Amino acid sequence: MRRRLMLSFLLTVCVAILIVSTFLVFFARQHHIKDAETHILNHAKILRNQLSDVYVELASYEEQGVSNPFNEDKTLVENLVNLSNETGLRITLMDEKGNVFADTGVETSQGDYEIMGPHDTRPEVVQAIEQGVGISVRYSKTMEADMIYCALPITDSENQILGILRVSLPLKLIEKRLSQNWPVFAGVVLTALAVAFAVALVQSKNLSKPIELMSQMAQEMAQGSFDKHLVPKTGTELDQLAQLLNSLASSLDLYISELRKSNVKMKTILDNSISGIILASADGKISSMNLSASKILGYSSQDSEGMPLHAVVRNLEICDLFEKALTEGSVQKKEIKLYYPSEMILDVTALPLVTSSSTSYDLSAAAESRQQFVPDGVLIILYDLTRLRRLETARRDFVQNISHELRTPITIIKGFAETLAEVPPDDKETIEEMAGFITTEVSRLSALVENLLELASLESGNVQFEPKWINGTAVICETVRKMEPIAAEKGQIISVEKDFDLDLTPISETPETPGSPCGEGQLEPVKVYADPSMFETVVSNLLDNALKYSGQGAHITVSLHDLRNEAGPGGVVLVVSDTGPGISEEDLERIFERFYRSSKDRSRSRGGSGLGLSLVKHCVNMHGGKVWAESTPGKKTSFFAWFPDPQNQA
């Protein structure tokens, strides 16, 4: 840049010097010509006074009939030559008609001046006759050179023109005089160029340095760095430009800083939003996608950028909503069932975006007024309704089940009460039988209410929870003893297994030999960190569930596995397995819901309130544990309850 500035400055100065020099040369030449014209005019006037007698004598000879008495008079020519040598001028004498009769510029040997022809048409002669003085600069054919001419008329006492006196000076004498000044002029020009070069060097440095600094600052600003500022000190308009650039850098730094903060906030909001958000351009390519959308669609947000929408969502209904929002320019909403990568229900909203014409717009107003605009893209919002729909289904099932559970005992009690009212007082056997039925249903109803109250307390957290180290084996054995009579009625066997290596992923085959009974010293005690009452509730409900639904002659196994000496989360796992009909895979996901029964085999005819497994789940969750079930239909069902150690409990 510095070289370009210096060359530009030098070129400008050189052109200016050339123009000025040309003007000065022209002005000097004209000035010398004017001086020469004045010089020869003054000499012409002097010569006119000196030669007036010659013209008077010439006039007298003409009156006598002699045309030119000076043709043979060499004295006149010699005198003119002497005057010419003294003045350095060419002297020409002409009569009133412009005929030359004496000229110092012509060789005297020529004698006859008639060959020169009349000069009455020469510019200086014409001007002298008309205006009294004639001056011209022209080429002379006689002298074969550029000449400066000055002509004066010579008159008598009556102001009659007797002849013309013309003096001339070769223009080359002026050119010679000018050439004598060329060294001085060249020296001035070279000095001016040297000064211009020095000034150009200094000025280019002074101008280029701040410009280079500003250019460097602009490049750094383009790369995102705004912390560098310039110190204006040139004393020119560049100082104001530097101040404006500093102000621009500060403003951009503040603006981009705020924009980054806003982007971070927006990214945090989008990444933590429970709704999936997809921004797709008008050509159907995905611009960005948040983490929730990535989880819903099973596609990485980084890999999805630039991908076609249909390749990522893999759902025609979502693509149709995108097309409608793009073509109609209105919000599109629809509840869609997604089958891949997992089955879920989505509330999908497609919102057309316009950013080129305005920064904000009202879609509802645009739709009402049929305002035409071309969307730049579509914002697709995916809201997962799967859990909500499941909760709605569970609520409906709960209302239906609790209504039925309450209606059945109430109807039975009402029927037996009405029958009892008609029985004769002396029929004690019938009265006792009816009263027994009523008592059984009241007990069942009471158990249902108690379970509901207990479940409500667990869900609300308003329950006394005091976990401590207990002997889990002892609790299991005590519960098994209480339920052995019930199992005996159905020919079922309950065995308590010793601790063995547990594979929690596959379903273990039931051992052919029964486990050890609960005898003194036969089972090693396994410590469990749990609330005693809740742990007993978990064991009793899992056993009760196995007894009710495993069928006649089933084998029920209870075991408590210590995981503290193994790699993993630690704690203990309670496992209750039975050889009943099993549970289908689709029912396993909902088996712990309230009042949920998987099949006819698990119908109300088996008894129970339908809340046992739900109570188990909430009790285990209170301990920060986990409960799940595994089943092979027709072979085996196992329920698992993991109780973590204190350091792993929330």
Surface-to-core class of residue 164, CB atoms within 10 Å of its CB (0-12 exposed, 13-18 middle, 19+ buried): buried
Q: Is the pLDDT of residue 209 over 90?
A: no
- Token pair, residue 462, equals 């308003």
* Residue 253 pLDDT: 82
Instruction: Please tell me whether residues 135 and 238 are part of one structural domain.
Output: no
* Residue 623 pLDDT: 87
- Cβ neighbours around 59 below 10 Å, total: 16
Instruction: Please tell me whether residues 411 and 447 are part of one structural domain.
Output: yes
Q: Is the pLDDT of residue 504 over 50?
A: no
Instruction: Please tell me whether residues 427 and 493 are part of one structural domain.
Output: no
* Residue 650 pLDDT: 53
Instruction: Please tell me whether residues 496 and 572 are part of one structural domain.
Output: yes
Give 347's pLDDT tier (boundaries 50, 70, 90): very high
Instruction: Please tell me whether residues 16 and 103 are part of one structural domain.
Output: yes
Mean pLDDT, rounded, for 362-368: 48
Q: Which residue has the higher pLDDT, 3 or 11?
A: 11
Q: What is the CATH number of the domain that holds 474?
A: 3.30.565.10
Please say which residue of 248, 266, 284 terminates a domain.
266
Rounded to 10 deg, the angle between the 74-87 and 2-63 helix axes is: 160
Instruction: Please tell me whether residues 84 and 213 are part of one structural domain.
Output: no
Close Cβ partners of 641 (under 8 Å, ≥ 6 residues apart): 538, 542, 573, 574, 616, 620, 625, 626, 627
Instruction: Please tell me whether residues 477 and 436 are part of one structural domain.
Output: no
Assess contact for 535 and 526: CB atoms under 8 A.
no
Q: Percent of the chain beyond pLDDT 70? A: 81
Please say which residue of 179, 200, 217 terminates a domain.
179
* Residue 175 pLDDT: 78
How far apart, in whole angstroms, are the C-alpha atoms of residue 515 and residue 473?
Answer: 14
* Residue 373 pLDDT: 59
Instruction: Please tell me whether residues 444 and 592 are part of one structural domain.
Output: no
Instruction: Please tell me whether residues 259 and 282 are part of one structural domain.
Output: no
Assess contact for 600 and 518: CB atoms under 8 A.
no
Assess contact for 2 and 205: CB atoms under 8 A.
yes
How far apart, in whole angstroms, are the C-alpha atoms of residue 18 and residue 6?
Answer: 18
* Residue 173 pLDDT: 81
Number of domains in the chain: 5
- In single-letter form, the type of residue at position 284 comes to G
Mean pLDDT, rounded, for 599-625: 71
Q: Which residue has the higher pLDDT, 498 or 603?
A: 498
Q: Is the pLDDT of residue 648 over 50?
A: yes
Phi, psi of 446 (to 5 degrees): -65, -40
Q: Is the pLDDT of residue 358 over 70?
A: no
Instruction: Please tell me whether residues 239 and 315 are part of one structural domain.
Output: no
Most confident of 52-56, 283-287, 580-584: 283-287
Q: What is the CATH number of the domain that holds 133?
A: 3.30.450.20
SS3 category, 431: helix
Instruction: Please tell me whether residues 444 and 395 are part of one structural domain.
Output: yes
Close Cβ partners of 461 (under 8 Å, ≥ 6 residues apart): none
* Residue 201 pLDDT: 78
What length is written for the chain?
650
Quick: pLDDT tens for 455-474. 677 666 667 788 999 999 99
Please say which residue of 179, 209, 240 terminates a domain.
179
* Residue 232 pLDDT: 60
* Residue 308 pLDDT: 93
How far apart, in whole angstroms, are the C-alpha atoms of residue 597 and residue 614?
Answer: 12
Quick: pLDDT tens for 553-588. 889 999 998 887 776 678 899 999 998 888 888 788
Assess contact for 564 and 571: CB atoms under 8 A.
yes
- In single-letter form, the type of residue at position 403 comes to S
Q: Which residue has the higher pLDDT, 564 or 334?
A: 334
Which domain, by its residues, includes 414? 390-458
How far apart, in whole angstroms, are the C-alpha atoms of residue 398 and residue 468?
Answer: 34
Bridge-based pairing of strands 555-562 and 493-497 is parallel
pTM across the whole model: 0.45
Close Cβ partners of 365 (under 8 Å, ≥ 6 residues apart): 371
Instruction: Please tell me whether residues 291 and 370 are part of one structural domain.
Output: yes
